[in-house]
Structure 1
Amino acid sequence: MQKQRCGWCVGDSLYEAYHDHEWGVPVHDEQLLFEFLVLETFQAGLSWITILRKRDNFRIAFDNFDYRIVARYDERKKSALLQNAGIIRNKLKVNSAITNAQNFIKIQEEFGSFDSYIWSFVNNKPVQNKWKHHKDSPAKTEISDKMSKDLKKRGFKFVGSTIMYAFMQATGMVNDHTIDCFRYSQV
């Protein structure tokens, strides 16, 4: 018998594996939070499957998403990234990854960790939704609006409310698995 999954991932083995093992699982690891932040910003205007297919290339290109290294990227590294056909070669997004790494560190210094800061928007507990169909899930919420506004105020780029809601879904800050999905009760 086939597992019941959220409709958005069905039919693509990479999507299904991501859905089954990562999507909606609460993330508290600093480096993984930064990875999702970078990937979500690069996803802006594109499909998530495009990013997933290039994820390993992004890991290599961005030094395994070590924000301490990314924060120090220079013009030569930026140029190399813009020549890398394995990732999304968008100058604004490459620059945003560097800027966001620098601001990520500032948040760590202010709050003790990025995890403490970002999870405070949901009172350190995942929001449990009860969607019957994956299309019922909103593109953004009041929480993602507030998060986006605060991140922008702190100098982050490509962190609009829709991007931040996708980040919340990916990192388990919100459980948007449909109620009939086998992962709903697991996360």
Structure 2
Amino acid sequence: MLELTIKNMVCPRCITAVNNIFHELKLEPTSVELGTVRLADDKLAPEKLHEIKKILAEQGFELLDDSNQKLIGRIKTLVIEKIFHSQHLDLKTNWSDIISQALHHDYGSLSGLFSSVEGITLEQYIIRQKIERVKELLMYNELSLSEIYWKLGYSSVAHLSAQFKKITGDTPSHFKNQRSSASERKPIDSI
């Protein structure tokens, strides 16, 4: 079985898009998940691999070759899955345990690799993803600030608000009241 790591797969729509790409190329994946495509074949011809890279790139995805890049891609996918697709993050969510257990690597080495390649710490990346999720929930008026702090595992509304202001320079209430805020959101794959 061949496992391909794909960067910028961040939502269910991305899974569908990547799945369609592989079907159009007459490659039947055994599974397509956020950041990963598994094929029954053990190997792909270099020309086919080049074609996959090209078509994925045209759709805003990137096939990762380097083992370090693959590992970072898997870390990002894991963080995005937890923050954007979980019903609730527990206050005691231990990111180091989650990441090291899921990827079967020592958290210290994963964190060091992430920082050296991405230029920010893994903790900062997680915080930025959480703030983007807060922005999304505020913009669409889906939950109150009290519900958001609970959903994302903050200890209090004050903690969420302080972190939000530190990252965005704005309070959650002010952000929510601004309708022009939509242009301030960042795509989660570019964080």
Scaled by the length of structure 1, the TM-score of the pair is: 0.29
Scaled by the length of structure 2, the TM-score of the pair is: 0.29
Higher radius of gyration, 1 or 2:
2
